[in-house]
Amino acid sequence: MLYILFGAIFLLSFIVQTSLKSKFTKYSKVPLGVPMAGRDIAAAMLQQNRCGDVKVTSVSGQLTDHFNPANRTVNLSEPVYGTNSIAAAAVAAHESGHAIQHQEGYSMLQLRTKMVPIVSFASKTMSWLLLAGIMIVEVTPIPLYIALAMFGMTVLFSFITLPVEVDASRRAVKWLEGSGIASGQQLDMAKDALHAAAYTYVVSALGSLATLVYYALMFLGGRRR
C-alpha cells in the first residue's frame, strides 16, 4: 500500500508540476490591461501596504521568486521582474503578500520563520543519524528515534507552509482586484495560476508525510518484530 501511495504521489506531483509550468507559460503571454511589469506590480502593492522600505530585486532562473525577510527584499525571477503579463502580476503580488505578512506579524509566517534554522539543521544531520541508527540499531534505537523526530520537524514545516502560501495568494488576488489592475477574465487567470502554484505545496507536504510514515514503519515496525 505504501508503494502504491508513493506512486500516486509521484504521479500527482508530475501532473501538478506540468500543469503549473503550462499555465505560467500560457499566462505569461497574456498582457495586463495596464503598462506594468512584475517589478511595478510589486512596488505598487508594497507601497500601498506600508512596506515601501522593502526592495524589489531580480534573480536568475524561473519560478525562483521569493521574499527574503532577513534583508527585506522581494526577489523576482527575470521572466517576472521585467514582464507585463498576468503570470508576472500574479507572482509579483504573491511574493509581495509575503512581505506584507512579515510587516503585519502574520502568526503562521512568524512560526515558519522560527522553524527555518531548526529545519535547516535537521535536513543536514538526519541522514547521518539514520545511517548511524541503522548500524547500531541492535545496541540502541535512540539515533533512529532522533532522526525520525527531525524528519517529523521537516514534515511539520511543510504543512505550516501551506496556510502561509494560501494567505499570500489571497492577499495578491484581493489587491489585484481592488487596485483595478486585474478584473474579470484576467483576474480568473491570476487566480488559476496561483492555485496551480499552491497545489505544488500540497503535494510536497503529502509526499513528506508519506515518507515519514514509511521510515517509521520500516525502522520501528521492523524492530518490534
Among 65, 126, 128, which residue's Cα sits nearest to residue 99?
65
Is the CA virtual torsion 10, 12, 18, 24 positive or negative? negative
Among 119, 82, 89, 109, which residue's Cα sits nearest to residue 168?
109
Span 182-190, average pLDDT = 91
Residue 184 Ramachandran class (φ > 0 left, ψ -120 to 50 alpha, else beta): left
The pTM score is 0.86
138 an active-site residue? no
Share of the chain above pLDDT 90, in %: 56
CA–CA distance, 117 with 65 (Å, rounded to integer): 21
| DSSP 8-state class, residue 220 | I
| DSSP 8-state class, residue 140 | -
Q: Cell numbers of 103, please?
A: 510587516
Q: Cell numbers of 179, please?
A: 487596485
- All residues at 6 or more sequence positions from 113 whose CB lies less than 8 Å from its CB, including other chains: 69
User: What pLDDT, in 10s, does the model give residues 117-133?
Assistant: 999 998 888 888 878 87
CB-hemisphere CA count at 13 Å for 99? Answer: 32
What integer best gives the mean pLDDT of the chain? 88
Choose the catalytic residue: 95, 138, 165, 177: 95
User: What pLDDT, in 10s, does the model give residues 169-181?
Assistant: 999 999 999 999 9
94 pLDDT exceeds 80?
yes
Encode burial over 185-211: b for 16+ CB neighbours within 10 A, e otherwise: ebbebbbbbbbbbbbbbbbbbbbbbbb
